[in-house]
């Protein structure tokens, strides 16, 4: 949290800021009542067991304070899942060199109780189904570009790629970006990353890009 505050402090028009997180994520019940789906998405820093998870509310609070004209790219390669243990158990029979890890952490028991008891919260999907055609999500007024490894009702995977364990989204994002360079719009990059996930990993997790119409049609990192 200190690092995030440092990132945005003093940023001025024309500055480029990048926040990249690759790791575990989760969902907890929204006790503040500001999310219409009843859930807060979280990321899990190394000390989350003692210091707590970082909610989307926390990120929104920090990022909302950046000055106009600052270009902020937020890249999250993590799960937004509430039932990761169910899918994880189904993968135990896979060969060791083909196993996929779900980037999901169980929420605290007090939050998990509300998630389990709420019948309106849909079952999470993991590498399931086909992504099909997709569109970036236009969010009027959003002051940054959000790159998410999957939709908020899905989990994100990691597994063997090029001789190492890699996050599927991070692998595809970097692969496409190296090939295309920064002379590519965010919308086009998002589409190519989604195709890479399907073709390289057979992944049903659907990456999600969010921003204003202007942000989505601008070149990445500009």
β-strand partners of 195:
none
In DSSP notation, 132-161 reads -S--PEE-TT--SEEEESS-TTB--EEEEE
83 phi/psi in degrees, rounded to 5: -135, 45
Q: Choose among 195, 203, 130, 209: nearest CA to 168.
A: 203
> What value does the CA radius of gyration of the chain take, rounded to a whole number of Å?
17
* H or E segment and range at residue 164: strand 164-167
Q: Report the alpha-carbon distance of residue 84 to residue 105 in Å, rounded.
A: 8
| Pairwise CA distance, residues 35 & 27, whole Å | 12
Task: List active site positions.
Answer: 24, 79
Q: With CA atoms as reference, report the closest residue to 169 among 57, 58, 20.
A: 20
Give yes or no for a contact between 155 and 126, defined as CB atoms under 8 angstroms apart: yes
């Amino acid at each position: 949290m200190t690092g995030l505050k440092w990132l945005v402090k003093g940023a001025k028009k024309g500055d480029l800021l990048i926040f990249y997180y690759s790791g575990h994520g989760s969902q907890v019940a929204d006790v503040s009542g500001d999310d219409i789906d009843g859930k807060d998405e979280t990321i899990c820093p190394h000390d989350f067991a003692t210091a707590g998870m970082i909610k989307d509310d926390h990120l929104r609070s920090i990022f909302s304070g950046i000055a106009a004209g600052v270009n902020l790219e937020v890249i999250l390669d993590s799960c937004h899942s509430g039932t990761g243990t169910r899918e994880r158990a189904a993968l135990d029979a896979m060969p060791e060199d083909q196993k996929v890890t779900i980037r999901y952490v169980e929420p605290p028991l007090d939050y998990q109780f509300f998630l389990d008891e709420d019948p309106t919260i849909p079952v999470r999907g993991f590498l399931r189904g086909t992504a099909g055609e997709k569109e970036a999500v236009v969010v009027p007024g959003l002051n940054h570009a959000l790159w998410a490894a999957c939709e908020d009702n899905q989990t994100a995977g990691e597994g063997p790629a090029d001789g190492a364990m890699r996050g599927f989204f991070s692998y595809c994002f970097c692969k496409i970006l190296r090939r295309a360079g920064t002379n590519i719009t965010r919308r086009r990059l998002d589409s190519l990353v989604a195709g890479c996930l399907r073709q390289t990993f057979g992944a049903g997790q659907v990456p999600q890009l969010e921003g204003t119409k202007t942000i989505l049609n601008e070149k990445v990192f500009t």
